[in-house]
A and B are shown apart, each in its own frame.
Chain A
């Protein structure tokens, strides 16, 4: 009979993904989303942040039919299925663009820079675009 080593306690790290780019002008936003979904398999403590033009990634009503790109704003809705539940949007970035949480495709936690900065400072790994 084969013996298996008892797995040690998993080390869970705090991963934060910071989105700062608008969705279709460059590939960054889409790539970052793909990374989040792939990395979600690793059962870490994941949070996703939208700052600056990153908030445009979540703008409701995107229709990419005529630009020939995938409308990946729909994919943020799957984050919950991938067990990514901490989704933060910076209040200042939203307001600067005349947006509110109601304009976004998914429910998010809107935080002022001060509170968001505090959460950011507690991360083990911060990845962003």
Chain B
């Protein structure tokens, strides 16, 4: 599949993860989020940006339990828990947020 964003075509795999990570931009994130029925408020953006920073630092998209722990470490227990993250991304914080963040599917996601 592919996304049409600001006049550009961005290739994605059959599940909607974009192929070329460098093709990501915030408008594309909003478009992917729309397809996932996710409202991109500040809290959702915070998680998406957290994932992008994590990828930048470690070159992987973390599995959900790893993401939860890492967020807890950085942003506190109020945000580093599954309830909070699943409220923002009901179909899986790692999977949905990674897709919106333009990252590959999480590593260690089984």
- B60 contact set on A, CB distance < 8 A: 37, 75, 78
Q: Which of A40, A41, A72, A82 contacts B59 (CB 8 A)?
A: A72
Contact, CB under 8 Å: B62 / A78: yes
Size category of the binding interface on chain A: 10 to 19
B56 (CB) vs chain A CBs: closest residue:
A74
B21 (CB) vs chain A CBs: closest residue:
A70
Secondary structure type dominating chain A contacts: helix
> What's the minimum C-beta distance from B101 to chain A, rounded to whole angstroms?
16
Size category of the binding interface on chain B: 10 to 19
| A residues adjacent to B (C-beta < 8 A) | 34, 37-38, 40-41, 70-72, 74-75, 77-78, 81-82
A77–B60 Cα distance when bound, in Å, is 10
- B69 contact set on A, CB distance < 8 A: 81
A38–B66 Cα distance when bound, in Å, is 12
